Amino acid sequence: MTDLSTTYLGLNLKNPLVISASPLSKSIEKARKMEEAGASAVVMFSLFEEQIIHESLELDHYLTRGADTSAEATSYFPDSGTYSVGPEKYLKQVTELKKALSIPVIGSLNGVSKGGWTKYAKQIQDAGADALELNMYYIPADIDLTAQDLENAQVELVAEVKAAISIPLAVKLSPFYTALPNFASRVVEAGANGLVLFNRFYQPDFDLNELKVVPTLDLSTSADRRLPLRWISILYGKIKTDFALTSGIHTTVDMLKAMMAGAKVAMIASELLWDGSSARVTEILEGAQTWMKDHEYESIRQMQGSMSQKAVKEPAAFERANYINVLNSFRNLP
């Protein structure tokens, strides 16, 4: 039988298919079924910086009731809905998942600024998490904020979180950096043990009847894997870290392509949310066994990085030359 095992953040995993941060981890029963189906690890849904600060401000409001303070201070935070829970419930969920599962549980913090909220990194560790994923989701809407200032602040945040914990740290990035390889390198130098590519920004839409801006959530498709596939292929071998490919993992082929690009794991969520069944995990892994046997691969490790930029015959295909070729092929269509 072919060997599907891999390592990620120093963790020995039975295969590269990891459940990415999503509402799936809010249910102990669903998480247990995904483990039984073959998932090798699960990333918790995120604990948000705003959620922590919001709860702290609410506590401060009640402690200082009657003082010369504004009762509306906490109203400036958006309703985080049912996706997030308070810090104490989150930590309890980490502990409960660790008790229920034998696979690694990776905590998730979502934030962008330095401050007291980062103490929860250690609390997630103390709750039993095997590793931590820091998701730096930020929309730089301030025209006075420079790219250098933003990147410096995020690198400092990574260093601060890393200093607070002893478990491995992965950092989840967006693709929207002017010089992504340089920034990714700085994040690793600041202490990240792994990079998760990429965060998908949830974009607002307009309700023309109500004339309101409404939040939207579009689940990924296999086409969404192309962006992280390219960048992992480019960065593989240039930055010494573990790569995780997230967004667009729906099939066996998606997972295998992630491995060939140089990823250690492929993270899946949308396919399971669409399908509603953990059986898809088993189908993808069984498909990988069959494909690898048919193509004479003995292990996942054998294929990791085999299609990265440094390994292919035409490395320019990942850069501008590919853009030109695609345009030329489009012009030649009937």
Domain with 36 in it: what CATH number? 3.20.20.70
Range of the domain at 207: 6-309
Q: What is the pLDDT of residues 182-214, one digit of tens each?
A: 999 999 999 999 999 999 877 889 999 999 999
Q: How many CB atoms lie within 10 A of CB 227?
A: 16
Residue 334 in domain: no
Residue 72 domain-assigned (yes or no)? yes
C-beta atoms surrounding 126 within 10 Å = 14
Contact 47/55 with Cβ under 8 angstroms? no
CA 150 and chain centroid, separation: 20
Which tops the pLDDT comparison, 65 or 239? 239
**In this structure, is residue 325 part of a structural domain?**
no
Token pair 């998480």 is at which residue?
31
The verdict on residue 142 lying in a domain is yes
pLDDT at 58: 44
16 domain-assigned: yes
Within-domain flag for 316: no
Q: What is the pLDDT of residues 3-42, one digit of tens each?
A: 999 999 999 999 999 999 999 999 999 999 999 999 999 9
The reply to whether 300 falls in a domain is yes
60 pLDDT more than 90: no
| Total domains, the chain | 1
pTM equals 0.88
* Radius of gyration for the alpha carbons in the chain, expressed in angstroms and rounded: 21
Q: Which helix (H) or strand (E) holds 274?
A: helix 270-275
Contact present, 184 and 141 (Cβ < 8 Å): no
Kindly state the DSSP code that residue 1 receives in the 8-state scheme: -
**What percentage of residues in the chain have a pLDDT greater than 90?**
73
**CA–CA dist 181, 187 (Å, integer):** 10
* 3-class secondary structure, 166: coil
Helix, strand, coil in percent for the chain, rounding step 5:
45, 15, 40
Instruction: Assess if residue 324 is contained within a domain.
Output: no
